[in-house]
A and B are shown apart, each in its own frame.
Chain A
Amino acid sequence: MTLKVSGIAASDGIAHAKAYLMVEPDLTIEKTDISDTDSEMTRLTEAMDKSKEQLTKIRAIAAESLGENEAQVFDAHIMVLSDPDLIDQTKTVIDNENVNAEFAFKQVTDMFITMFEGMEDNAYMQERAADIRDVRKRVLANLLNVTLPSPATIEEEVIIIAEDLTPSDTAQLNKKYVKAFVTNVGGRTSHSAIMARSLEIPAIVGTKDITERVSENDMLIVDGLEGDVYINPSEDEISAFNKKAKEHDELKKEWDQLLNEPSVTKDGKHVELAANIGTPKDLESVKNNGGEAIGLYRTEFLYMESTELPSEEDQYNAYKKVLEGMGDKPVVVRTMDIGGDKELPYLKLPKEMNPFLGYRAIRVSLDQDSIFRTQLRALLRASVHGTLRIMFPMIATLPEFREAKAMLEEEKALLLEEGVKVADHIEVGIMIEIPAAAVLADQFAKEVDFFSIGTNDLIQYTMAADRMNERVSYLYQPYNPSILRLVKGVIDAAHKEGKWAGMCGEMAGDQIAVPLLVGLGLDEFSMSATSILKTRSLLKKLDSNKMKELSEKALSECTTVDEVIELVNQYVEN
């Protein structure tokens, strides 16, 4: 009988392929006494050589399929493998203690890992400790004659099954062959979910135990519309899903018709449907999905994908590419949002108990202003290549905004003095993600040019619920009347001062939230590019006056999120 496992539907679509388990084999080792230490040394050397051979091969495949940058992770691993200290010390342990190679290698690598991890102020060392763990896994696997998963070498269509997918895991995946992701942990805003949406493949996260239910070579159906995985489905089920996939494709084709259509409601009210992007590479998807603007360019990838602080020139080139790529269409660039869950190995940020409530985003920028000023200069220089808007993240107080804006003005004056051209008028706004700023929006609105509501964080801060913690994930409630009231306050405050208000969280492309947001008068909706056409199609069915009535009713009468959903369903015909 077919086994069905359910999770959180994180990315649309239906896929049917073989399972690929990205799960570690058992690498438990035992200590044994050895008399023939020479043969242990030979075993060690052979395992290291074999590991080096495998990594060299993986590196080559990765460079070809993923690009040179992604492949460089493996250079660090190969370097560790050929480290003379590591080899010499392991040999010394084998020789002096008459123990097996596995045990000696584990002991020596443990020592290095402990030493690096002990250097607490240094995130870079933590990462190198992780490199050593990675390399150790491979050497031990070779000593024990077991196989490690090596996603970089996949050469057939598969569905990836994993505990979770980190950015470095996904960097190793050949997108051509990966048809879907299913993970044990995570939510709609976790890395794997965002990645799946940008790749336009189905994904289901938060299944809790998919890695234990699925075995290698099982055939799977992933229904990313409902959040269900079917393990070894019957012929009937396969054909039923093929039909469903076809229907979904047809719906998508219908949406594709709207590619060059304006984003208007049934009664002709226009709103802007913009895209969230992370790198210039995402521009293609923005164009393919009819994005009218970039509502959020997350610049932290520039910092995260690099092994050192990106230079002004590198940043300028990236910003210029995006601005030129969009022509006259506006591009909202968010200044660096690092810290929180986004660590930078080369920037020594202290480990914190509550990183989401700690030293991150504008707080880092204002404190380490030389890094921030470099980014501002790059942005100002790029401003002549399109319609640039600058947005500061995690603003809690007006003095923070004023300080950031003053730095921007100072850098602009310096550039003009140097004879560098800068656009005349650049809108400067803030992201509303801290409840304090939402509550004080009327005062902020007098000084900023725009607001963009970052709902992922605004919801987690308002509900005091960590969005990475599955046990409290029920509190991630975008349609809770409390959130809607905050959103309304922000939009009204902007309009009162003649400014515009947008939204750049997941909520902006959510099919239940959109009718409410239209009713509340939101001007700009920024979302994953792949949600734009679906939202444009939904807009055409909505009457803005009726949606106004809906949102007023939701705010004045609804007490819970369920009541809001019910009300929306009454107002919006399918």
Chain B
Amino acid sequence: MEKREYTIIAETGIHARPATLLVQQARKFNSDITLDYKGKSVNLKSIMGVMSLGVGKGAEVSITADGADEKEAIEGIEGTIKNEGMAE
């Protein structure tokens, strides 16, 4: 299991294009991937789940990948997060 933590710095939080890109990226991997925020955990492959969290600027979130390709998954997702300027 791989886990990383981020502080969201993007003005719009995880919404709009960034949310879509994160879900698209997560769907490329077989591992179970979750996004945790404020004690709630959602499937990062579900756009509805991700949006239901309402992650705004300044939020502390963690992302967990569990499965055969968990290492690639967590790296891939971190790439999206940084490229899109969601967190540093």
Q: Which residues of A contact B (CB under 8 A)?
A: 75-76, 79-80, 83-86, 112, 115-116, 119, 122, 124-125, 128, 132, 307-309, 345-346
Contacts and interface: CB of A to CB of B under 8 A. Distances in A.
Nearest to B46: A85
Nearest to A132: B48
B43 interface: yes
A125 B51 contact: yes
Contact of B43 (A85, A112, A345): A85
12 contacts: A79-B23, A79-B24, A79-B47, A83-B47, A85-B42, A85-B43, A85-B46, A122-B54, A125-B54, A132-B48, A308-B16, A346-B12
B17 interface: yes
Nearest to B12: A346
A79 B52 contact: no
Contacts of B11: 309
B54 A112 contact: no
A327 B56 CA distance: 44
Contacts of A79: 20, 23-24, 47
Contacts of A345: 16
A128 B46 CA distance: 13
Contacts of B17: 307-308
B76 interface: no
Interface in B9-40: 11-12, 15-17, 20, 23-24
Interface string B48-66: 1101101000000000000
Of listed B17, B42, B45, B46, residue having the most chain A CB within 10 A: B46
Contacts of A346: 12, 15-16
Given A86-B46, A115-B52, 14 more contacts: A79-B20, A79-B24, A80-B47, A80-B48, A84-B43, A84-B45, A84-B46, A85-B42, A122-B15, A124-B12, A124-B15, A124-B16, A308-B12, A346-B16
A112 B16 CA distance: 17
Given A84-B45, A85-B46, A128 B51 contact: yes
Contact of A307 (B16, B23, B42, B46): B16
Main SS at interface, chain B: helix
A430 B10 CA distance: 33
Interface of B: 11-12, 15-17, 20, 23-24, 42-43, 45-49, 51-52, 54
B16 A83 contact: no
Contacts of B15: 122, 124-125, 346
Contacts of A86: 46, 48
Contacts of A83: 46-49
Given A119-B54, A308-B12, A346-B15, A85 B48 contact: yes
A85 B49 contact: yes
A112 B12 contact: no
Contacts of A307: 16-17
A108 to B, nearest CB: 10
A69 to B, nearest CB: 13
B34 to A, nearest CB: 12
B57 to A, nearest CB: 10
Contacts of B47: 79-80, 83, 128
A84 B27 CA distance: 10
A376 B46 CA distance: 38
A282 B23 CA distance: 36
Nearest to A79: B47
B13 to A, nearest CB: 9
Contact of A116 (B23, B24, B46, B52): B52
Nearest to A109: B48
Given A84-B43, A122-B54, A346-B12, A112 B20 contact: no
Contacts of A309: 11
A124 B54 CA distance: 10
Contacts of A84: 43, 45-46
B88 to A, nearest CB: 18
Contacts of B45: 84
Q: Which 4 A-B pairs have the closest CB atoms?
A: A85-B46, A307-B17, A85-B49, A346-B16
A84 B32 CA distance: 12
A116 B47 CA distance: 12
